[in-house]
Structure 1
Amino acid sequence: MASPGAGAARQRSASFHGRGAEQQRHHHQMQKKRPKTMPDLLAGARGAAASFRSGTPPLDGGETGRTPSKVLLSVAVQRSMWPLHVMVSAEWTVADLVAAAVALYVKEGRRPSLPSADPAAFGLHYSQFSLESLDPKEKVMELGSRRFFLCPKSSAAGQVASSSFSDGASEVSKVASGKAPAWLSYMGPR
């Protein structure tokens, strides 16, 4: 024979979680399924165009064969707080996007200032973690992404790196001469 306390404990555990077993089953049945996402920007347009040529209706019931004439892209600039939003045409190349992003950055007066206003001094990447820059002659619509990262090319980055190296060398010379830099006083004894 079950004690009255066991039923109360069972009831408390269900109320503790907010729902009973029946309510939980009903809740799981009512949840909506997440729609499928497509990383390819033109997959729907290509599929619709192919189905239009073959004479079969599109699966989604939408329009057939339309390629967007303009697309909004997000371009993050190295050391900048917020990305640029650039409206690009379907025919633009990577070089056109870089030129538009640099011009927009300078026009808006964003900080920090760019080392150069020449678009040829910059490389466009998929993200800040990709080492290889994109080919300037490649079409933007064929890249398959709407987010990019703009940074100075290796020659400009090399100048920045050499200047930071020389700053580090001066700090080392201060320590070697017996005059310790101020930041060293914050480090505790070993």
Structure 2
Amino acid sequence: MSFPFPRHRRKVSGNPPSASHRQHSVLAPLCAGFSLNLPLPSPPFLNTDSLRLTKVLVNVTIENSLGPVQVLISPDDTVSDLIKAALAIYNQEKRRPFLNLKDPKHYALHYSPFWLESLNANEKLKNLGSRNFFLCSKPSTASSCSEQANMSKDSAFPLMLFVHLPL
């Protein structure tokens, strides 16, 4: 089988490199401005005083949703700001299931679905120590329960609210 292009092979000779080649290889680092005796100046952006995170990527899993919402937010923002941003992105991406309550006051942020205590709404994100959170709706209050009872009186089937049908 013959190839249409000839194979190129590197020619190996026993001759050492020429003197001009050796001089060029020695001068190359010096010409480039490198000096082994002088320390390189540190760039101004490597100051530890000026290093500060401006944005962090936070994953927020919303109750009954399939995957987390990724929020790019400042670490100086609070938990309530994160809840607002996560709900806005969830609605903007038109994820399912659609949220009945769009007000951030009706939601609580937790470390995980198994964490019972909700996070303080005024706590800064940089103090939390995590970038993965779980957002769930707050338990209903007595006023909303009384509103549901009033609605059941007005409906045609008021007792259907309390009937659980076996599946």
Instruction: With the length of structure 2 as denominator, give the TM-score of the two structures.
Output: 0.57
Matched, 1:64 2:48: yes
- 1:125 alignment counterpart: 110
Distance in structure 2 (CA, Å) of the matches to 1:130 and 1:97 = 18
Matched, 1:144 2:123: no
Displacement after TM superposition at 1:67 (Å): 2.1
| Equivalent position to 2:94, from 100, 106, 109 | 109
Which amino acid letter does the alignment assign opposite residue 89 of structure 1? Answer: S
Secondary structure of the corresponding residue to residue 118 of structure 2:
coil
Distance in structure 2 (CA, Å) of the matches to 1:140 and 1:82 = 21
Secondary structure of the corresponding residue to residue 77 of structure 2:
coil
Which amino acid letter does the alignment assign opposite residue 118 of structure 1? Answer: D
Which amino acid letter does the alignment assign opposite residue 124 of structure 2? Answer: K
Alignment of 1:1-190 (within 5 A): 64-65=48-49, 66-155=51-140, 169-171=163-165, 181=166, 183=167
Structure 1: which 5+ runs fail to align? 1-61, 172-180, 184-190
Which amino acid letter does the alignment assign opposite residue 121 of structure 1? Answer: H
Structure 2: which 5+ runs fail to align? 1-45, 149-159
Secondary structure of the corresponding residue to residue 73 of structure 1:
strand
Q: Identity of paired residues, percent?
A: 43
Instruction: With the length of structure 1 as denominator, give the TM-score of the two structures.
Output: 0.51
* RMSD (Å) for aligned C-alpha atoms: 2.4
Q: Answer 1 or 2: which has greater helix percent.
A: 1
Deviations 1:29-55 (A, max 9, x none): xxxxxxxxxxxxxxxxxxxxxxxxxxx
Secondary structure of the corresponding residue to residue 96 of structure 1:
helix
